[in-house]
Amino acid sequence: MMRGRLAARVLATILLAGIAHPASATERGNPAEALADPGDQGSTRTLYLSLIRQARVDGRSRAALAYLDDFDRQYPRDREALVLRINCLLDLGQTDEARTALKRIPPNDRDGQVLEIRGHVSAALGDWAQAARDYGAALDASPANPLVGNALGYARLRSGQPQQAVEALKAAHDLAPNETVIRNNLALALTVAGRGAEAEALLSAVRDVRSRGEIRSQIASEAARLAVPAAAGAGNETGGDHG
């Protein structure tokens, strides 16, 4: 799993949490079969979305998109469903479609979830500077969300701002010290920033010698790939404020 190794792609680290539901609900096919009383629109919508979200968590993004098509007929212009659709499209590498879907959200929407998904799309397009701005705004909206902080740190690293990346990732690591993706990204940022001793001290917490060696090797490889653009952009690191 991506969460068990170095996060070379930030999108893989931003996962929706699964919502527990009876296994038979999605196994039968359309989640609508598992819905509560159709007359109770609030609970029906919530349950339907939870089932669709779980399909995505289970790696069934194509099925989730099909369910979303059905959901949209019942609940058109639902923002939460649109955000979920964009995530599914990104899961499948359908970046252009995700960008098109994002245009359906008003540009002045400052909801934290919307700001985060804007960052996902920017990252998928390879526009890491814009992704850093998007994630910075999302973190302002949800300052205690460590995964948004992780995304911000990685985007800053990819846009040539290793020192600012370290600060964002340290804050995220403080919030979620047991999250291996954040730890690995922090070690990567420290390495790119020329703070190898700190990176090594961080990785010393990995007790399994073989696992520690594999992570160290992956970080060294990724750091070497990022070192040239990071050094080139070191003169214009302006991403310290993410407001």
Question: Any idea where the domains of the chain sit in the sequence?
Answer: 2-234
Domain 2-234, second-level architecture: Alpha Horseshoe (1.25)
At residue 228, the pLDDT reads 57
CB 99 within 8 A of CB 125: yes
pTM: 0.75
At residue 91, the pLDDT reads 96
Whole-Å CA distances, 239 to 18, 41, 56, 203, 234: 33, 44, 33, 26, 11
At residue 107, the pLDDT reads 82
CB 52 within 8 A of CB 70: no
Nearest by Cα to 67 from 29, 15, 19, 99 = 29
Which stretches of the chain drop beneath a pLDDT of 50?
1-39, 229-243
At residue 237, the pLDDT reads 38
At residue 42, the pLDDT reads 65
Which tens digits make up the pLDDT trace of 150-189? 999 999 999 999 999 999 999 999 999 999 999 999 999 9
CB 159 within 8 A of CB 233: yes
